[in-house]
Amino acid sequence: VHFIVAACENMISGTGMRPGDIVTASNGKTIE
């Protein structure tokens, strides 16, 4: 049995943000 899965992540760049990423603001607060 053989099968092919074309699975990839379509991001604009390697530093792009995804839903659920946590960002730390300059004042120390974290934003999800």
**pLDDT tens digits, 1-32:** 888 988 887 777 878 888 888 999 999 999 98
Which pLDDT does position 29 carry in this prediction?
93
Question: Looking at residue 8, what is its pLDDT?
Answer: 80
pLDDT at 30: 94
Predicted pLDDT at 7: 83
pLDDT at site 18: 82
How many helices (H) and strands (E) would you count in the chain? 0, 2
> What is the pLDDT at residue 25?
92
H/E stretch holding 24: strand 23-24
Domain total of the chain: 1
Q: How far is CA 6 from CA 11, 16, 32, in A?
A: 15, 21, 30
Residue 16, domain extent: 1-32
Distance CA 27, CA 32 (A): 15
